[in-house]
Amino acid sequence: MTKVHPNAAAAAAAAAAVAPAAVAENGEAVSLTVWRRSLLFNGKGFTVFDCKGNLVYRVETYGGGSPREVVLMDADGHGLLTIRRKKLSLADEWLIYDGDAAASPSAAAPPKRFTARRHVSLRPTRCLAHLSPPRRQSYADARAALSCRYDVEGSYAGRSLDVFASSVSGGEQRRRVAMVCQKEAAVGPDVFRLVVQPGFEPSLAMAVVILLDQMNAS
């Protein structure tokens, strides 16, 4: 039977193992197991483990429906990214912030990383969503991720997704940076794999999974 429960004693070490710096250093793809369940009783969300069964990310929500704001946390419960649905928008839009946006005072709002939009087309297409960097950068350092936009293709219901990165300026050929696929063992749609390529943040890849889950629930 496929293991989906964490090894809590090694959770902190596992979180460090999938940090962006570690991914870039060893040059290997990171394979994570995503369980579409919360570890809390009566809670909804996600629980994410590394290849050794150690807890690395978690998402906990309460109540039914699709919450307007979801926080991706590390194994210790620290907010990494916030996925927030935009109010009063003519299109389906979500905003992705650094950290726990709700825990920050309004005077010190966390930086906005991306604006995400559901792809709308009258023709059949594999494209599901687009993530674009904010128009006005608030970062003092020009990180490479902010020069990229991301396109998500495939089927979330079928647990088959590809995330492609391309340069905002259009001068670089797009490349696949992450993918979602079903587990080899037949464990149902609530347990699947998230594979992240070197140079791409595993936390941002998980935020894309949460985003697609929100889009499918809305």
Whether the per-residue pLDDT at 14 is higher than 60: the answer is no
For residues 139 and 123, is the Cβ–Cβ distance under 8 A? no
pLDDT band with cut points at 50, 70 and 90 for residue 144: very low
| Chain-centre distance for alpha carbon 49 | 14
DSSP 60-74: EE-SSS--SEEEEEE
Strand partners, 48: 34, 57
CA distances from 169 to 63, 149, 191 (A): 42, 10, 37
30-216: CATH number: 2.40.160.200
Strand 55-61 to 93-98 pairing:
unpaired
Q: pLDDT higher for 83 or 13?
A: 83
Cα dist. 172→137, 149, 159 in Å? 21, 11, 28
User: Which pLDDT does position 101 carry in this prediction?
Assistant: 79
Assess whether pLDDT exceeds 90 at residue 192: yes
Stated pTM of the model: 0.81
* Of 143 and 120, more confident: 120
Within 8 A by CB and 6+ apart from 23, the residues are 30, 196, 198, 199, 200, 201, 202
* Among 218, 198, 187, 201, residue whose Cα is nearest residue 34: 187
| pLDDT at residue 96 greater than cutoff 90 | yes
Rg of the chain on CA atoms, in Å: 17
Tell me the pLDDT tens digit for each residue of 158-182.
999 999 999 877 667 889 999 999 9
Domain boundaries, the chain: 30-216
pLDDT given at position 204: 96
Residue 58 has pLDDT above 70, yes or no: yes
Where residue 95 falls (left for φ over 0; alpha for ψ -120 to 50; beta otherwise) is: beta
